[in-house]
Structure 1
């Protein structure tokens, strides 16, 4: 997906996002919140303990997420902001303290390479090394490439209904918001170097400086040694690209910090209380924590989440492109199901691939059902639905589950939503796309998933004589059932036919039905499926399958 196309994708999200109206409507007993064991509440409890019940002098508790705007927001961006939002909501319920979430863009970093998926690459190539906010916008829509990508980030976060304040590193540096902290870096320069140098290779040690000057001649962010510095004057001396020796202030956006020092400085300057990061950044967070203490501050409470794995169990890599994009997920599953995936076991490495989506969609509705059925308030705080919806999950659920819709799509080879709706309205006459918008979304997801993943893999089996006799007997039994037969009654008939035809292991009987009728090894509870699909239609499906109209093996 190109950066320009992403704007249209993100714009389609607002009406279906789970984070709209971020502030929780339902208030819980703080005693229950203090005892809740769901991980967002455990994180909130740890943060409350760190603060010792006292509101920070700034007047709020600050949560932060960071973003590198050299490319599009991605599924990891969603995961980090969604999880942080879950902890924030739990903390508010636990303490009643006001909070803020800052989405911080590291847009003063120098552009290291030209992205492959942008137009006008030569325009950008001529600005390599400059801060992203000084690189021309290859799309021609914003003042800079950094501004363009920041706008995409905000559109992305807004589309999902996140409540946040956007901060730009460039703005903070240039407006002087970091000046005091930068002066402190110079005052404690040698201490910071003692922390950083042992972590670097021998050659890098010779040129390393936590401070990166911005060249007054080219505007590039320079990776050069600092020849000397004056802490009292807040100036540094370095060799510019043209070979001249330059002395200039570190304040006012004329220098920035290397990222580990920058991370620490930001924690101190903004007084950040909580920030998440991937497991791969644990060593960096530890180093930044040491630097934060040197600067007179402290490392915020943190949460190191595990990274995602691809279909083969390998770590997802942007360069390999072996991951699942957020656009991919939202073609086949709801934002709520994606939020559930992010909620579940964040400290365990999980496969993030297409085949996890159907279960996540159905599991979401199972949790929603469990939330409203809970007989004790404490149980609701452990339910993922509480955290997905900020304590106020919607009532009700679609009359047909996602897995059943997938099987229905498979049985009727659905090309569009209208085919499935024809069966649904007969099964649930009161349901329409207008009265059941959630169900209509699921129908669309099911058609997309069936067409892209199920249909290409269908392999129908042609039964042998004994198997054929059993399936013919099932068709006859279905024809004899009364018109108002329940799903349970139909299921019982399916069981009885399997037993009568020698299937001691009924799993083998159902597997046979799935392979012959649906072209797949796994499938639905047959009684419910037949009731939804229709007994006459199922009998016709059996007749076509036995006639060899589908068989591929």
Structure 2
């Protein structure tokens, strides 16, 4: 399959951020990567703590750019540009501190400063702490359907695959020191070495001065923790590079062409780029993105475990909604907490439904277009699934479940959906069925405990009585829009003295649903049922 000329031309002129990134990379390789090699995209993961959404977003955003590049750099016949994506785990890094959200902390405390891949798994499931965290990352990436190659730092160091690159670091040891030492405090500079040997006695990754004895043979000399002078090889997993040097070495050794990283690594990118040049390579293209914040506006940390985990988001929202939230404005900081999930779900489906009515250039700025293309690997436009919609919004579903109570179950929700949805069966609406389960969990954990239905004020009670009287006269299957008209008419009636329609809607939300916000009441009444809504009104008036 090939891309159309129209699609390629639109991609090369698109202002959507993934295409802007792809266009910069295309300028680097106008005639393709030398030797015909695939253009290599990389993402990095530090497995010192459990993977969180910040980890996942880097893979997803990089995939957006990768897919955009395949279009932008398509050949004259429309064939997609050849690409690869490597998810790299820095599991040779020494454990500096014990994360807060880990069981059996004593296991980690006893193994501080050892490479993460050589520390027992405190979860007692895998051969090492790093292997556990790496598996969690791969499990989710696989679940989402990413096309990637997983590479562990420990495999490359231990197997000798990085040995030639390490020799390059040793040969250029002084040039790298000349780059790094001016950036360090005096205390840190006194012991800094680009290469960190691993102690033969303790297995610790050592932060000590290192003398290069023979770069070609990989021999170094250093003073071990017990004061003994050791001369040993730095190859074959007997050393680990400092972070900024490792970053550069990896770019050169793997031939990385694109890597994005967070704003907190801006300085790392500058220094690593200079080191890559010393090693005979070139700094990749890449985006510097803003970091996610928790509900308190603080940076999300793997060790603290604040913010949301991947599992938590997927308990209350869909995979697509997570992707949608991640897509927007990568250069702007965004809070990441459960409160953003419902809106993200509904926005995703709204954007997805709009795709087929948009011209090609507008599709390229649609988050759902990028999400549908992210793992499809195809060239069809619009991508499969474009134009699909949900018969009920997630917000409306949450209102329904909220009224049904914390003890509501899936079958009960589907019985009510029959009032509103044609062929209301889980099998006929699998995407909606997924959201039913999410809504039940969200309601149980966050909505039900906070719902308080207040008694109506005198004018509100009069308006509710009027609404009940009107509902008593309508057929059970009245369309939602007609029910909404009734709601509007009552709110506009000066008899009830509402300053605005907003006050009338708020009164219904607070007295009937127990919430400060809510849905279009016509849609809710149609979904919950006319008679059931009248019962809610009666309960409110009885207060």
| TM-score calculated relative to the size of structure 1 | 0.90
Counterpart-to-counterpart distance in 2, 1:79 and 1:393: 23
Match of 2:219 in 1: 235
2:397 is the counterpart of 1:392: no
Paired residue for 2:365, among 382, 392, 398? 382
Match of 1:409 in 2: 401
Cα contact 2:49–2:303 (8 A) shared by 1: no
Match of 1:357 in 2: 341
2:476 is the counterpart of 1:498: no
Residue 215 of structure 1: how far off its partner (Å): 1.9
Range that drifts further, 486-495 or 135-144: 135-144
2:435 is the counterpart of 1:442: yes
Change (3 A) 1:264 1:44: same
Change (3 A) 1:272 1:400: same
Counterpart-to-counterpart distance in 2, 1:495 and 1:117: 51
Match of 1:545 in 2: 540
Change (3 A) 1:487 1:149: closer
2:506 is the counterpart of 1:511: yes
Range that drifts further, 314-323 or 211-220: 314-323
Counterpart-to-counterpart distance in 1, 2:448 and 2:27: 53
SS at structure 2 position matched to 1:65: strand
SS at structure 2 position matched to 1:103: strand
Residue 147 of structure 1: how far off its partner (Å): 2.6
SS at structure 2 position matched to 1:101: strand
Cα contact 2:464–2:537 (8 A) shared by 1: yes
Match of 1:453 in 2: 446
Q: What stretches of structure 2 of length at least 5 have no aligned partner?
A: 74-79, 374-381
Cα contact 1:304–1:347 (8 A) shared by 2: yes
Match of 2:255 in 1: 271
Cα contact 1:55–1:97 (8 A) shared by 2: no
Change (3 A) 1:321 1:110: closer
Counterpart-to-counterpart distance in 1, 2:202 and 2:522: 72
Counterpart-to-counterpart distance in 1, 2:35 and 2:521: 62
Range that drifts further, 44-53 or 319-328: 319-328
| TM-score calculated relative to the size of structure 2 | 0.92
Counterpart-to-counterpart distance in 2, 1:141 and 1:229: 41
SS at structure 2 position matched to 1:246: strand
Change (3 A) 1:195 1:136: same
The RMSD of aligned alpha carbons is: 2.1
Residue 411 of structure 1: how far off its partner (Å): 2.4
Residue 533 of structure 1: how far off its partner (Å): 1.4
SS at structure 2 position matched to 1:389: helix
Counterpart-to-counterpart distance in 2, 1:251 and 1:483: 77
Counterpart-to-counterpart distance in 1, 2:148 and 2:521: 47
Residue 369 of structure 1: how far off its partner (Å): 0.5
Match of 2:22 in 1: 44
Matches within 5 A, 1:134-145: 134-145=118-129
Matches within 5 A, 1:68-467: 68-95=46-73, 96-118=80-102, 120-374=104-358, 376-390=359-373, 392-394=383-385, 395-413=387-405, 415-467=408-460
Range that drifts further, 114-123 or 396-405: 114-123
Counterpart-to-counterpart distance in 2, 1:105 and 1:329: 23
Change (3 A) 1:233 1:442: closer
Deviation by residue 1:308-329 (Cα, 9 ceiling, x = unmatched): 1222323333444431111111
Cα contact 1:461–1:516 (8 A) shared by 2: yes
Cα contact 1:308–1:316 (8 A) shared by 2: yes
Q: What stretches of structure 1 of length at least 5 have no aligned partner?
A: 1-22, 549-553
SS at structure 2 position matched to 1:143: coil
SS at structure 1 position matched to 2:287: strand
Counterpart-to-counterpart distance in 1, 2:498 and 2:462: 12
Change (3 A) 1:144 1:452: closer
Range that drifts further, 408-417 or 187-196: 408-417
Cα contact 1:28–1:93 (8 A) shared by 2: no
Range that drifts further, 226-235 or 148-157: 226-235
Counterpart-to-counterpart distance in 1, 2:341 and 2:124: 37
Cα contact 1:73–1:156 (8 A) shared by 2: no
Cα contact 2:87–2:151 (8 A) shared by 1: yes
Residue 116 of structure 1: how far off its partner (Å): 4.9
Range that drifts further, 347-356 or 378-387: 378-387
Counterpart-to-counterpart distance in 2, 1:25 and 1:155: 31
Match of 2:376 in 1: none
Counterpart-to-counterpart distance in 1, 2:99 and 2:180: 30
Counterpart-to-counterpart distance in 2, 1:174 and 1:497: 75
Range that drifts further, 165-174 or 247-256: 247-256
Residue 35 of structure 1: how far off its partner (Å): 1.4
Cα contact 2:259–2:286 (8 A) shared by 1: yes
Counterpart-to-counterpart distance in 2, 1:228 and 1:279: 34
Counterpart-to-counterpart distance in 2, 1:392 and 1:383: 12
